[in-house]
Amino acid sequence: MMLLLNWAGVFALLCFSLGLLCAALRLMRGPTAEDRVLALDTVYINGMLILLVLGLRFEEGLYFDVALLIALFGFVGSAALAKFLLRGEVIEP
């Protein structure tokens, strides 16, 4: 039974890594700037999911904190980039 959980973890890690690769390709290729911001969003979501799987596999509580921090700062980064694309300034006077 432990083997099933192990292989499910490996499968999930493989899926998230492939998703990370797809998002990185879109990040390099993307025709518009909005595409790149969206790809950055997907990159940090996939990285956060990889950290959650690792935390489940190693039974370590520290991975959750790292994942929460990635979610927080990823949102701040992509929202600031989107606001810059929209207005030309991040924080308006």
Q: Of the two residues 32 and 93, which places its CB atom closer to another protein in the complex?
A: 32
Identify which of 84, 78, 11 has the alpha carbon closest to the alpha carbon of residue 45. 78
Q: Which is nearer to another protein, 5 or 93 (CB)?
A: 5
The two structure tokens encoding residue 10: 């490996």
Q: Verify binding: residue 90, another protein, rule CB under 8 A.
A: no
Instruction: Answer for the pair 42, 23: CB distance below 8 angstroms, yes or no.
Output: yes
Separation of alpha carbons 9 and 36, rounded Å: 29
Q: Binding of another protein at residue 59 (CB under 8 A)?
A: yes
* No. of helices (H) and no. of strands (E), the chain: 3, 0
What does the binding site for another protein look like in residue numbers (CB under 8 A)?
1-2, 4-9, 11-16, 18-20, 22-23, 25-26, 31-35, 37-39, 41-42, 45-46, 48-49, 52-53, 55-59, 64, 67-68, 71-72, 75, 78-79, 82-83, 85-86
